[in-house]
Amino acid sequence: MVGINYIIATYAGKTSGRLLDKNSEFVLDKQLDVLYNLFLKKKELGIENLIEQITIVYPTTVNDPYPNYYQTEKWQNMFKNIVFLQYIGQNKHHSYDQYIQAMQKYQEYDYNIIIEDDYCISLDNPYFDLELVQEYKEKFPQNIGYLCTWCPDYPPWAPKHAAISNGMISKATIQSIKNPLEYFYTLRDHSQKMFSYLFTDHGIELKDISDKYKIFFYYTGDPVIQDYSSVNSNKLIFMPIQMLYPPLEIKKML
């Protein structure tokens, strides 16, 4: 049986971008509410649940934190398989070394779903975990790769990287890289690109799900939902949490 660790990178601070959104204090709680309801829907429909653990990574050094951001007791009552992993470091790399620390800490799971705190899984897709595993196996027959949400074709002078990083990484992939966290810290670029280079520098391919699924992104500097979808599909896995707080304009970007 396949087992998945659902890893959420978090930050409880009142960043300048978050101040534009009055719901920012509750994005993580909303994501977990969505996940809980997906689990209930799976049970109701008799759909296999591959999520064996939910891992919340939390930095302890946070400037001006939201007081209600972490609702630990509530979530422990909702989920029997939730753990809280303290982030080690200075939190200079956004979500990306949080992902690596969690993947290295818990290596007993076949796959890792990585997702940021202000995203969620579409409530209309209780098959999301099964579909991600299927996509992963189809795109990476050797079970080595980084399946992200969106990795567009860049011009020759721009290194390939995952522009939207929520996705899936197998245990075999992270184990194939020697000292992945240490290597990540040697890289010099925007942390989003650094995370992709961690794989591409080791000959590991990046592929995305944009050939089958709708791709949405919320940019806090321009409070609209940006639609990067290139296929005529209504299927969705990852979505910005802001899509649950309408109305927001959806702007087609491609």
Q: For residue range 89-100, list pLDDT tens digits in order.
A: 877 778 999 999
Is the pLDDT at 172 greater than 90? The verdict is: yes
Would you give the DSSP letter of residue 185?
Answer: H
pLDDT of residue 130: 98
Cβ of 141: how many Cβ atoms within 10 Å?
A: 9
State the pLDDT confidence band at 40, using cuts at 50, 70 and 90. Answer: very high
Which domains, from first to last, does the chain contain? 4-252 (3.90.550)
CA angle 186/119/61 to nearest 5° reads 50
| Mean pLDDT confidence for 224-236 | 92
| Mean pLDDT confidence for 212-216 | 97
Q: Report d(CA 167, CA 113) in Å as an integer.
A: 6
For residues 186 and 154, the model is more confident at 186
State the pLDDT confidence band at 15, using cuts at 50, 70 and 90. Answer: confident
For the chain, what percent of residues have pLDDT higher than 70?
Answer: 99
pLDDT of residue 221: 67
Nearest one of 94, 100, 98 to 13, comparing CA atoms: 94
